[in-house]
Structures are given as C-alpha cells and as structure tokens.
Amino acid sequence: MKIKFLFFCFIFSFLFVSFAFYTRGQQGNPPVISNIKIVEVTTSSAVISWTTDKRADSIVNYGLDRNYGIIRDSTFKTDHQLILENLLPNTDYYFQVASVDENGNQSASKGFVFSTKKLTEIAGVEKFGEEAKLIEKAVEAVYQMKSEEAIAFTKEKIEEVGAKKAEELVIIGDPRAEVGEDWAKISWATNKESNSIVALVPESDYNPKSQEPYIMKVGEPNEYVLHHIVEIKGLKPATTYHFQVQSTPKIGETVKSEDRTFTTLSVLPVISNLQVVKVEEDAVTLSWLTNIPCSSLIEYKNLKTGEIKQVGDPIFTTIHRFRLTNLDFDTSYQVVVTAENEQGDKTKSQPITFTTIKDEQPPVISNVTVDSTLYPGEEQVRVQVVVSWKTDENAICQFFYQEGILEGVEAISFPPETEFSQKHIQIITTFAPNTTYKFWMKCKDKVGNEAQSEYFTLLTPTKEKSILDIIIENLEATFGWVKKISF
C-alpha cells in the first residue's frame, strides 16, 4: 500500500508541474493575429475584422497617414470586429490591428490602407489627372454642407480664389519641338506676357537629382510675349536632349514646364561622284564619295539575264572604291550603290551602267611604301629594305633598281612574282648603308597589259659611329700623319 501511495504522489506531482509550465508558456506568448479583413466601407465608416488564436481585446490604430489614432474594444474574444466611424468620404486611411490577451501580451499586424467611398460620381473629372481628387473633395465638401449661407459663402470664395489663380502665369499645353540635324526650335504659349527661356542638356549629362540639371540656357530674357519661340543652334546630330521651358512675367514668379526631350536628326548620307574607274573582261572597279562615313551595299544587275546580286562593304569611310569580280564578258550591267550611316539612315545612288570588254588598260600602281633598317652581318653592317605597293587589279610585278640616280646606269632586277595579286612586296638585303638608290616596278595583268611605276629614290641608313671612330676622324683632319698610323 505504501508503494502505491508513493507512486500516486509522483504521478500527481509530475502532472501538476507540467500543467504549470504549460500554463506559464501560454501566458507568455502574445496572441497570433490572422484573417484581417476590411468587411465594409461606406463614405464615412469602415468595418475591420480579424481573429486571434486565444482570447484578447480588440484595437485598431488608424489615421490619414501612418501616424495612427486608436479605437479599442476591451472585450476578450478570438473573433474581433471594430467599426471606424466619422470618416471623411473619398479619403485614404491607414490602419493596423492589435490585440492584448488577458496576461498583457500584445501583438500588432502590419499596416494596411483603404479608401472610403465617394459621396458622388463627377463625370469627366478623370481628364484632370492628379488634380481630379482635389476636385472631387471640393465638390464632396459642398455636398456635406447643410447651411445655404455656408454654401453661398463657399461659392463666393471659390470664385474669388479661382479668379486670383487665373491671373497667375500659366504655360498653356505642352511645349512643341521642331528639330533638324544641328538645331531645334521650341515653341509654347502662356496666358500672360512673359519672357522666353529654354534650359537644356544632352541626355548623357542629364542628372534629374541635381539642383540644376540643365547646363545650357537659350532665349530672350527681355522680350515679353504670349507666343514663345526659341531657336537653338550648334547642337550635335543624332543626339537626345532634355529641356525645360521657363517663362517669367514682368511682375511675378518664374513658371517652368516639366522635363521634356527631343532628338536631333542624323546627317543623311549623300552619294556623289559615282563612276566607273576601270572595266575589265570579268570585273569592274567603281569609286564614289559620301559626305559622312558610311558603309556601302552595291547591287548590280546583269541586263542580259536579269540576275541581281549584292555585295557589301562594311567599312565606314567617305572615300569608297570597290572592285566587282566574276562578271560575264561582253555583258552590260546596271549598278546602284546604297550608303548607310552609323545611325542606320540610308540613301541610294542613281543607277549607272557599264559593259565588260576586253581589258586593254594596264594595272594602276599605287600606295608605294618603303621601310629600311640596319642589321648586323658577318663582316659588316648591312641594310634591309622592304618595299610594298598595290595594283588596282590582279597582276604580276617585277622590281628594278640601280645605284645612284644618273641616267645610263645598268638596272638590276629581281625575278618577277609567280602569282597574280593586288598586294605586292619586295625585300632587298643587298643594299649598302649610306647609299642612294633609284628603283621602280613593272606590273602586268592577266591579259598582258603592262604598266611601269614612276621612279623612286632611297637613301639607305648610315651606321652610327663609335666614339673611337669620331676621335680618329678628328685627328686625321688635324694631323695628316695620323693616317699613317695603323691600329
């Protein structure tokens, strides 16, 4: 019996302690708020409801901004509902709900917002944008008035304020921008005579957070008009600018428009001097100019077969030269060139025609360049000369030279090239330092037409003298007997 009694006491103590800890835990936890609802909203009231996981009172903090007021129901329950009364119509209200349980533990929700209903719908008010709500509130305020005297007084004051506001300077409508490649013309109107200023800045320099985001101002500060026109010159083509119009009356404050933008036009390509430079049996060389750097697309049509082909030149340049190849012999072609600037604007040339014929024109030699350097040899310093040039058609070239520039000296030649090309190079390692040479090239195309370049002269570089060489030369110049001394 004693053992049973002791066992009973142990179980009772364990349950008692567990219940005490459980109760204490429940008392220390704030109520959990959930299921918050805005049940009903009228022009002057709103019903807010929510639930808690245990009995607690009901509190709603609310107001016209986040500085909440308060309404409270001290009854402890789990389903809560409070009515917010005497609210203003057509007004945004912020609120949060809170509950405190019987042990003083408090919980609060996040913030919410609702809008009370309008007293009346005003047709057409939406066209006033941000000012629509101000109009609605003004009308609703009159609707709430009961005294005819108060309504009459309000009418008088509104007319008085409206008349006063009407006298203030106003920019009528949106400013208009007419643009060219390097100019813009900005126009606007005001209800009163005022001056005309346009503030502007390239988009790359525009900073809306700056106290003064516009770096340029153009206009007539001392001319007062109703219709304003400001012409701005010296702008960059294909550039976006932010601008703001500003007008100041003789008496009164400056009125400024909102930020606006315009983009100047890009410079349109102009093709000029399109011509056929050279006609061959199966090729033609064309040249033309553009007023600005452009890429090109050449479209050519076989007038016998009607076949049209296109070939592009992606390089942006103003001086263009292009060779069309793989053409049919004794055939007429029509060519149209399309030029495109960096902004994507395009223009087309007038068509030109040509007929492939037997090639009787020799290659044209151009772009001759010379590069010479000294390099050490086994016995003495030698010279390396690199000569390069171009021909306007595929050709085989041969390099000729002579020492000195006198006439009648026998020319020395290198073997002719073995492959047809438009780019040519000759490397010479037999020239002596500090020596004058005359050189030229002969080039022959595939049908045997031969051309010779003009004559070019070259003075090879001189070996730099050592200090010992300079001393000996000075001694020889001063004392002739020094020449007899051998070192």
pLDDT tens sequence across 256-306: 999 999 999 888 899 999 999 988 888 999 999 999 999 999 999 999 999
With contact defined as beta carbons under 8 Å apart, do 266 and 240 qualify?
A: no
What are the pLDDT digits (tens) for 39-54? 899 888 999 999 999 9
Mean pLDDT of 241-249: 95
- Position 251 confidence tier, pLDDT thresholds 50, 70, 90: confident
Beta bridge partners of 426: 387
Least confident of 67-71, 174-178, 465-469: 465-469
DSSP 310-322: EEEEEEEEEEEEE
Amino acid at 426: Q
Mean pLDDT of 170-187: 93
Tokens found for residue 419: 């492959």
- Position 23 confidence tier, pLDDT thresholds 50, 70, 90: very low
Cα angle at 482 between 478 and 485, to 5 degrees?
170
- Position 25 confidence tier, pLDDT thresholds 50, 70, 90: very low
> Given this model, what pLDDT does residue 64 score?
81
Exposure string of 343-373, with b = 16+ CB inside 10 Å and e = fewer, is: eebebebeeeebebeebebbbbbeebeeebe
**pTM for the full predicted model:** 0.43
Distance CA 61, CA 68 (A): 5
Tokens found for residue 418: 């073995």
What are the pLDDT digits (tens) for 379-411? 677 889 999 999 988 899 999 999 998 888 889
Mean pLDDT of 161-180: 83
With contact defined as beta carbons under 8 Å apart, do 230 and 199 qualify?
A: no
Distance CA 350, CA 139 (A): 68
Burial class (CB in 10 A: 0-12, 13-18, 19+), 33: buried
What are the pLDDT digits (tens) for 315-330? 999 999 999 999 999 9
Q: Which helix (H) or strand (E) holds 13?
A: helix 2-28
> Given this model, what pLDDT does residue 89 score?
86
With contact defined as beta carbons under 8 Å apart, do 264 and 184 qualify?
A: yes
DSSP 79-144: EEEEEE-SPPTT-EEEEEEEEEBTTS-EEE---EEEEPPPSS--TTGGGGGGGHHHHHHHHHHHHH
